[in-house]
Amino acid sequence: MAQNIGFPDCTKSSSALCIFALLTEPCAILGVADLFATLRYMKNEVNIPGMEELLTIKDVAELLKVSQVTVRRLQQGRHLPFFKVGGSVRFAKTDILEYLKKGRVEAIS
């Protein structure tokens, strides 16, 4: 197994530090097993909301049963959280479902 030279122990360091180290340190200093163990730990500890499923504008329009123009207006008005992926816009499915929950109006009776 390769010696872990200067690489932070991700079980004791902040997730941001671990991500930075993975992106900047050459992978040669890590054994393959160490690298996969670190990535598995980070997957469990670095929780990016909605990363389990990203939706396009068309997907969101179909889910909400509205037009794509309406989704773009909601996105541009910052009513829906979104990610920029290159030049494209993506939405986390959990964010869209949360938006629906917030807009729910309860019955009076």
Percent of the chain predicted with pLDDT > 90: 45
d(CA 31, CA 27): 8
For 60-75, how does the pLDDT look when each residue is reduced to its tens digit (9 = 90+)? 999 999 999 999 999 9
Task: State which amino acid sits at residue 64.
Answer: L
The structure's pTM equals 0.53
What residue spans define the domains of the chain?
Answer: 1-47, 54-102
- Judged against a pLDDT cut of 70, whether residue 33 lies above it is answered with no
Considering the chain, what is the average pLDDT of its residues?
76
Identify the pLDDT of residue 66.
Answer: 97
Cα atoms found within 13 Å of the Cα of residue 23, Cβ hemisphere only: 6
Higher pLDDT, 61 or 52: 61
> Which residues lie below 8 Å from residue 5, measured CB to CB, with a gap of 6+?
29
